[in-house]
Every structure is written in structure tokens, then in C-alpha cells.
Structure 1
Amino acid sequence: MAIAHFPLKLVARRMIAPTVAHLSFERDDGQPLPCIPGQFIQIHFQYADGTPARRSYSIAVGRALDAAPDARVEIAVSYVPGGAATALFEALPIGATLDASGPFGRFCLLPQDANRRYLLIGTGTGITPYRAMLPQLERLMAERGVEVVLLQGARTPAELLYGDEFRAFAEAHPGFRYLPCFSRELPADGSPQAHPDVRHGYVQNVLPELAPDPAGDIAYLCGNPDMVDASFEALKTVGLPVPMIRREKYVSNK
């Protein structure tokens, strides 16, 4: 079956880190985009020599599963020096359209899950699926008392994507714990990002603190392939069944 394509119109752009832009689009054909939190779209374009190219981006906007689909599409884009996709997005004016397809992917919360806790681990733009999942997680916490831990890795406070949103969500929902983890630089004392749940190091090194429970946890890993592999091995070592460790690797493409 041929993949259906549709036009996306850029309606807003803002930088959320020194090299990461949050882009807001709407379908420009008047149709909604039915999707499940955790899925991604593909943007299609051409290299300078006319060769077809495409890039995948997780949908970063959240909506409840029973909400009517709408035309909104939000993504986080890492700007890579010399990258063809970077040049495309940087030069794209508000109101311009792109060719897109999707949604794709199975990195989603499953309705048959009966776990007691979700461990969500992400680095870089690999955090965007979890932003989209927040309305769904809110319902799961209310309906069956599931607990959620979001462990987010970044090198510095300036590179922490959507941190203010995740912290606000955690403060409003006692069942949701948010742990930012910085590998290079911690927030300055007294800064808005300083918090007792801030950790120093790599996310995979913080996993033992969470005491992963093979009987009650489901883990999601998304982001840097090295982090995903290291966290996967650490979770297997403590006995988490492989089907309960769901992975998606993000590789920065030019």
C-alpha cells in the first residue's frame, strides 16, 4: 500500500535549547492527523542534487486517546551544523508548507498494560514522545493508580528540553516523579532548575536508585543509542523481562 502524504504548514517556531527548535505545524489539507502518543512523522525533501531525502520526528503534542484528532503537529528538531534538514527548517518561513507522511511507530503505551509503574528514560529530543504521553499518563494515574518516573538526560541545564513543563506536571500529579540528570553541568544554586530530584551523571547510572521491579515495572528508552543500549542491559541485569523494555533509538542525521 502506498504511503499517504500530506502538507504541513509551519505556524510557529521557538528555540527550546541552543540547538533545538520546537516547530508547530498544521495539516494544510483540512484533514486531522489521527495518531497515538509516541508515534512519529516523516518529513520529505530533496538534497541539493535532487536526491530524495526524509527525516523522522516524534510528535511532541499530547492529546488524550479519546480526544477527537485535530490538525496539529508539533516536533522538536535538532539543528546539526551543515545538515540538509537543518538548512531546510532554518530557512522555512512561517506559513510555508512541507511534505509529510505518517504517523508511524509503535513506541506507545499499550492498553493491555497492567503494570504498577512506568520508567520513562530519555535523552535529547528522545524526550518528545513522553511529552505527548502526558495526557494519557494523567488518565492512567487517575484510573488505576499507576506511578510514573521520568528520568531525563541532558548535558547542561540549557539543553534540558521541556523541563519546565515536566516539572509543573510533576508538581500537579503526586504519582509522577521527574528526575533531570545532567552529565556535564548542574543548575546553579537558587536557579529555577535547581531541585532535590536533580541528579549528576548519565541516566543509566541513576537507574539503580529507581529500584526497577521485574514484577511491576515497564520501561521505555528513547534517545541516544549508547544510552538506550546501556540502560537496556542494566534493566535486563536486574530481571526486567525484555518485552517490558521498549526502545527507540534517535540518531542525529544531517
Structure 2
Amino acid sequence: MFHPTALAIVHFPLKLVTRRMLAPSVGHYVFVRDDGQPLDFIPGQFIQVHFQYADGSATKRSYSLATIHDHTLGPGEAVEIAVSYVPGGAATALFEGLPEGGQVDASGPYGRFCLMPADQNQRYLLIGTGTGVTPYRAMLPELERLIGERGIEVVLLFGARTPEELLYGEDFYAFAAKHPQFRFVPCFSREMPDQPHRDVRHGYVQQHLAEFAPNPATDIAYLCGNPNMVDACFETLKEVGLAVPQIRREKYVSSK
């Protein structure tokens, strides 16, 4: 496993290969690096896409890499991100108008929101909302390795408003079916599925976190997504005794 500081940050062009809708307002974009070099990364890291506002001023947006890979990525291999569409958003206009074969400028990889090599915990609590679940999708091969090598357990609490907004749900359900040590717990705040799985919950992830009895002796928690959720869960985890190094967090803020 790479250390999260092992990969050099570089600037590069990305070419769009294909896209599909994950939800009514979220697109799944598949890119390749368009300079003949690989875009390797450590699961949990993100890239930044650089572009200009209509007035010509420079700006950028960050996107966690959603790619599932269990090897070093080579030249020409695809990388994947999830893009939330914000009404009137400059980044939304960029991505919605990007044709297949179109280019964007990017840099990265960035971040330390990764599974750390020195971790000796017995369980990971992975908590996310919206596109904040993308890092956990990328972590699946590493989690599979750790389940096999260290016998860890994993609980993924994922908050969505409705079943059609359960991003990458098919990947997490399939992983849970293959690995009994992995529990996928979707929490729907507005609309429940017609035939809910036994691990489906109604409400927000922060309302159900206590059910899984976070334990400072055994757990490391990851929080990614809506800032209100991240803050609420962080306070809950601190109250039950998790030390700050046991709580790793990233906030996703929608921006125009």
C-alpha cells in the first residue's frame, strides 16, 4: 500500500471518454489522461479541475476519484469522478457542455483522506452523503485486502434523499453480498425503497450512527460529504471518546 504522500502532484489534460447519470443531478464521468502518462492515485485522494468564469477569471473545483482499481494505473487507463450539477453553476456548465473527446485541465492527486498503512483498528466506520461516497467506492479493493489480511469489519453509512440518489449503490450492495464483514447501511431522508433491505434506515446518517456503537478502542471513522453531517458526526464521535486522529474528515461544499 502506498503512503498518502507518495505520489507527485502534477498538471495534466483529461479527455472525456464517456458519461452517464447516476442520479437526476449527478453525473458519472470517465476520463483518460490525454498526454500519454498515467494518472495514478491512492484511493481517497482527489483531483482539481481548472477552468475560467465567464469574465475570464481563473477558478477550480475538487473531485474525489471514484475509480475502483487494485493496481498501479498505467497510461491510457480510465479515471472516474462524480459531478454534482448545481443550478447556475459555472462547473456545471463546463461539464454539461463537455462533449466526448473534450478536454479539461486538471491537477493532482491531492489529499490524505486515505486508509493509512499504520492503522491497526478492528473496524472502519465510513460515513458519507451525496458525492462524498466516491472515496469509499475507490477504497473497495483496499478494504477487501484488509478484510482478508487483518479481518477488519467495515460499516458504510450512506445518506441519500431518495433511492434514485443512492450513488454507486449497486457496487456497495455487491461488495456487501461478497463480504459479510462489510455492512452497507443506506439512510434515506425523504423516500424509502419499495422493498427495503434489512440494513436500510429512514432518516439522516447522524441519527443512526449511535446504533453502531462507535468504540474508541476499535474504530477509525471517516466522514465525507455535507458539512452539517460531518460536523454532527464529528461531535458524536468525540463525545463517545474517539480521539481526533481517529476521525478523518472532508467536507463537500456545493459552489457556483
| 1:34 counterpart letter in structure 2 | D
| 2:73 counterpart letter in structure 1 | P
Identity %, equivalent residues: 72
TM-score for the superposition, normalised by structure 2: 0.95
Give matches, 1:165-244, under 5 Å. 165-189=171-195, 194-244=196-246
Q: 2:73 corresponds to which residue? A: 69
TM-score for the superposition, normalised by structure 1: 0.95
The Cα of 1:86 is off from its aligned counterpart by 0.3
Give matches, 1:118-157, under 5 Å. 118-157=124-163
The Cα of 1:5 is off from its aligned counterpart by 1.2
Q: In 1, Cα distance between the equivalents of 2:37 and 2:84?
A: 27
Confirm or deny: 8 A CA contact 2:163 2:192 kept in the other structure. yes
- Closer, same or farther in 2 for the Cα pair 1:148/1:3, shift >3 Å? closer
Q: 2:110 corresponds to which residue? A: 104
Asked whether 1:117 is paired with 2:123, we answer: yes
Aligned length: 247
The Cα of 1:72 is off from its aligned counterpart by 2.2
The Cα of 1:73 is off from its aligned counterpart by 1.6
Confirm or deny: 8 A CA contact 2:131 2:167 kept in the other structure. yes
Q: In 1, Cα distance between the equivalents of 2:9 and 2:248?
A: 25
The Cα of 1:60 is off from its aligned counterpart by 0.4
Q: In 2, Cα distance between the equivalents of 1:82 and 1:17?
A: 18
The Cα of 1:241 is off from its aligned counterpart by 1.1
C-alpha deviations, 1:41-85, integer Å up to 9, x for none? 000011111101100000000222xx1223422100000110000
Q: In 2, Cα distance between the equivalents of 1:3 and 1:212?
A: 35
Asked whether 1:93 is paired with 2:129, we answer: no
The Cα of 1:92 is off from its aligned counterpart by 0.3
What secondary structure is seen at the aligned counterpart in 1 of 2:30?
strand
Q: In 1, Cα distance between the equivalents of 2:21 and 2:44?
A: 22
The Cα of 1:34 is off from its aligned counterpart by 2.1
Q: In 2, Cα distance between the equivalents of 1:205 and 1:237?
A: 15
Give matches, 1:19-34, under 5 Å. 19-34=25-40
Q: For structure 1, which runs of at least 5 residues remain unmatched after alignment?
A: none
Asked whether 1:82 is paired with 2:84, we answer: no
The Cα of 1:3 is off from its aligned counterpart by 6.1
The Cα of 1:242 is off from its aligned counterpart by 1.1
Q: For structure 2, which runs of at least 5 residues remain unmatched after alignment?
A: 1-7
C-alpha deviations, 1:164-192, integer Å up to 9, x for none? 11001100111111000011111113xxx
Confirm or deny: 8 A CA contact 2:10 2:109 kept in the other structure. no
Q: In 1, Cα distance between the equivalents of 2:253 and 2:217?
A: 32
The Cα of 1:218 is off from its aligned counterpart by 0.3
What secondary structure is seen at the aligned counterpart in 2 of 1:171?
helix
The Cα of 1:158 is off from its aligned counterpart by 1.2
Q: In 1, Cα distance between the equivalents of 2:72 and 2:249?
A: 28
Confirm or deny: 8 A CA contact 2:28 2:83 kept in the other structure. yes
**CA-based RMSD:** 1.1
Q: 1:246 corresponds to which residue? A: 248
